[in-house]
Each structure stands twice: as C-alpha cells, then as structure tokens.
Amino acid sequence: MANPVLNQEIFRKQSYAYANTGVMTVGGTATKTLLLLMMVIAGAAYTWKLYYNAVNPQSITGWMIGGLIAAFVMAMIISFKPKMAQYLSPVYAAAEGLALGGISAIFNEQFALTAPNIVINAVALTLVTALVMLTVYRSGLIKVNGTFMKVLTIALISIMVFYVGSWIVSLFGVNLSMLHNSSPLSIGISLVIVAVAAFSLLMDYEFIRQASAAGAPKYMEWYGAFGLTVTLVWLYLELLKLLAKFSNRE
C-alpha cells in the first residue's frame, strides 16, 4: 500500500559501519529508482503479453498471485533489513511488475470501450504527479516538517485501516459496494487516497535528501529507490481505480 519504509527511524538505525563502501547520493538513488522501474515494466510487459496471447486469459492468475506474494515477502524483508535492499529490491520490482501487468491487462480489457486508454492514462498521470510533487518539493512550497509528517502518517494509517477493515467486513458478507463503485462517495474516497499517495512522494524525496546529506551508507540508495518505487506503484494502482470509477459514470 503506502510507504512506511522510508522514515527517519529506519535511517537513524543505520550506522556508518559500511562507510568504506561509499556514501549515498541523490543521483545514485535516482539511477537505481529508474532501474527498478524498468524491472517493474519488464515484469508487467511479460504478464501483459501472456494475457493477450493466452487462449484462456485467466491463466495469468497464478503469475499475478505469485508476483504479489513474492513482492510482499521481499518488501517485508527489506523493510526490516534495509541492507538487503541492494539484493532484494530488483526481485521485488520484477515480482511487482508481474502482478501489475496482469492487473493492467484486465483493466484495459474491461474498459476497452468506455476508456480505451485507461492504462496509458494511469501511467501518464503517475509520472506527471511524481514530477509535479518533485517540483513542489524543490520549490519549498510545501514544508516537509514534523507537522507534515505527523498529519500524513495519520492519513496513511487511516487508509490502511480502511483497506483492512473493508476486507474483513466483506468476509462476513456485508455489502460495501457504495465504497468501491462509481458513486460520489466512492470517487471521493479514491481522490483522497490518490492525494495522500501523491503527498507521500514528498516524504520519500525528503528522506532521500536527508539520508544523502548525512552520508548514509551506499546500500541505502537501493533502500531509497525501493521505497520510492513502492509509493509510485501504489499511486499508479489508485489512479487506475479512480479512472475506472469515472469511466463507469459515463
């Protein structure tokens, strides 16, 4: 979901015992982020192609579930062991890509008539949002200070509770369609989640800047890139769902 992995507490726990291997830089983190995103795209292209070439498109379900499980396991390990990011973040990216490719293909097929460019639009909006938030961050228009961090953390926790709560309640047969269909309430919830995901990018940028300025170990570039990739994937999925909701209202 959101990005709890890039936070100051994690950084404080990293010592300078690995200083001999070099220090973290913003440029190095940006390069590694691009590499991870390319791996996400490669994995997504594979399951996307499988979906459209398979006799039974549902046959990609195994790839999607397997990718989600692998990505989750890698993310958990990296979150608790940041040094492992240099080894496991590429695995996470490829596995996440497998899941995203299948999900994107399903959305693309389902909304082929009402929103034929839904996937392309979601990708474009994700990139534009990332660039806009980077511009906002560099301009200092929004101060990423303690108050900002606290408010956003509360928002992230609230969203997590919403996700988990909705899933648990649905297991008991409770109809929550009004929260997930194309109703004004549902669209409003999606808009809030998209906004929180976008503002989470500011936290990611700040973490990367501070860690680089403090001379964090070189392996933290992979950790920073991993965290930023997590946020971008989350933002893409939420934008995809939001576009689907708008399409259903037409």
The domain locations on the chain are 8-248
Q: Residues of the chain whose pLDDT is less than 70?
A: 1-21, 55, 249-250
pLDDT tens-place string over residues 131-175: 999 999 999 999 999 899 999 999 999 999 988 888 888 778 777
Write a three-state SS string for 128-143. Answer: HHHHHHHHHHHHCCCC
Q: Would you give the distance in Å from CA 221 to the centre of its chain? A: 17
> pLDDT value at position 17?
45
Question: How high is the pLDDT of residue 213?
Answer: 93
- What is the per-residue pLDDT for 177? 72
Which residue intervals of 111-216 are DSSP H helices?
A: 118-139, 146-171, 177-180, 184-213
User: Average pLDDT over the chain, rounded to whole?
Assistant: 89
**What pLDDT is stored for residue 203 in this prediction?**
95
SS3 183: coil
Identify the pLDDT of residue 133.
97
Q: How far is Cα 129 from Cα 6, in angstroms, rounded to an integer?
A: 19
Angstrom CA distances, 178 to 110, 194, 238, stand at 20, 18, 17
Tell me what pLDDT residue 235 has.
97
**Rounded CA separation 237/225 (Å):** 18
Q: What is the pTM assigned to this prediction?
A: 0.88
